[in-house]
Amino acid sequence: MLNSITDAITNSFNMFWEIMWALILGFSVSAAIQAVVSKSGMARLLPDDSPRTLAVSTLLGAASSSCSYASVAIARSMFRKGADFTAAIVFEFASTNLVIELGVIMALLLGWQFTLAEFIGGPVMIVVLALLFRIFLKRWMAERARERANRGLVGRMEGHAAMDMSVSGGTLLQRLLSKKGFTSTSRYFVMDWASLLRDIILGLLIAGALAAWVPNSFWQSLFLSQSGFAAKIWGPLIGPLVSLVSFVCSIGNVPLAVILWDGGISFGGVISFIFADLIILPILDIYRKYYGIRMSAFLLATSYAAMATAGYVLEAVFGALGLIPARRNLQAVFASVSFNYTTVLNIVFLVAAAAMLVRFFSTGGLAMLRMMNVSEDEMTQMSGMADMK
């Protein structure tokens, strides 16, 4: 028993060591983008569900944080401030599925083909979701959801979602290279890490445990991996369901995707699993609080359909183009730590992360960390009081 636990923890640490530099790189690039892209006024840019508005919503989401909980909170905040419901949900999907750090980790652990599939499949999923909303979302449903949202029931990471730490004035490069730009980048970097650390650790631990304890025969049976065409049909359907009960969202589900891919799930199944971080049970409960149980069920059904559809499209397209990669040897992902290029990169990026941490804590960052789970309404009140001083 002790050996099994040790194997699981060792697997988790080895995977973390393999991806550490990529995580730091991804979060750094994401933080730099957020530092020069302001959240203020986003709601007024999303007044309807026209193709132009949804394209703007997708771009804004892609430039935002990848924390699923923060994205859900930002979407509700924009909806309360007048944004169209469809546009707000599209923003939410883009901010968790079209972000740089997710693509970097997928390329490292799964292969560049999966990263390409993410950035192609994300828009496909969003288009399908928008079409489903256009067909099935009734005006009275959106009105009731807005009434419920205006009650201000508390979810998670609302304080983090409400903070706009971007800098203005000058060109993008001038803002980014300024002292204020470095401070803003360090704040987004540390707070994004803080918001996602639980999911990253949970994802790594679960992946390590599954690799050590669950035989491949179980996954092959679950995913019908020996059934050829049936596996391609089943994969995009079962992928989101596995994600739903995993309790892991955002980047944290990529380590789990590695286990599923090695276990025989189809290419489309992996993609639909990764896309499904916004229908895990804790997120669905937040939907219930924010918009009511009817809208929560509606979001589950339409999201699931969009995720599965995107999985089918990518399975067909990438299969036809011969872009579906061979399955990696899992032992390569869980390889023991040694002095190689990965170690060198980890050291370099750990130094960069340390510089971010020093800047963050020397510029009042600790107080901001304490406000990450403050409610949206409390953040608005504090902002209003600060403006009066």
Query: From CA 251, how far away is CA 256, in angstroms rounded?
Result: 10
How confident is the model over 224-270, as pLDDT tens digits? 988 889 999 999 999 999 998 877 777 888 888 999 998 999 999 99
**Residue 298: enclosing H or E segment and its boundaries?**
helix 293-320
How confident is the model over 102-114, as pLDDT tens digits? 888 899 889 999 9
Sequence-distant (6+) residues with CB within 8 A of 344 are: none
What are phi and psi for residue 214, nearest 5 degrees? Answer: -105, 120
Q: Is the dihedral of CA 38, 166, 61, 287 positive or negative?
A: negative
How confident is the model over 73-124, as pLDDT tens digits? 888 888 988 999 999 999 999 998 998 888 888 998 899 999 999 999 999 9
Flag whether pLDDT at 293 surpasses 60: yes
Flag whether pLDDT at 355 surpasses 90: yes
How confident is the model over 125-162, as pLDDT tens digits? 999 999 999 999 999 999 999 999 988 776 677 776 67
Q: Is the dihedral of CA 191, 180, 91, 233 positive or negative?
A: negative
Query: From CA 59, how far away is CA 99, in angstroms rounded?
Result: 10
| Tokens describing residue 317 | 């397209």
Reported as a pLDDT band with limits 50, 70 and 90, residue 387 is very low
How confident is the model over 50-72, as pLDDT tens digits? 999 999 999 988 887 667 888 88
Flag whether pLDDT at 348 surpasses 90: yes
What SS3 state is found at 221?
helix
Q: What are the extents of the domains in the chain?
A: 2-382
Query: From CA 236, how far away is CA 234, in angstroms rounded?
Result: 6
Write down the pTM of the prediction: 0.85
Amino acid (one-letter) located at 137 = L
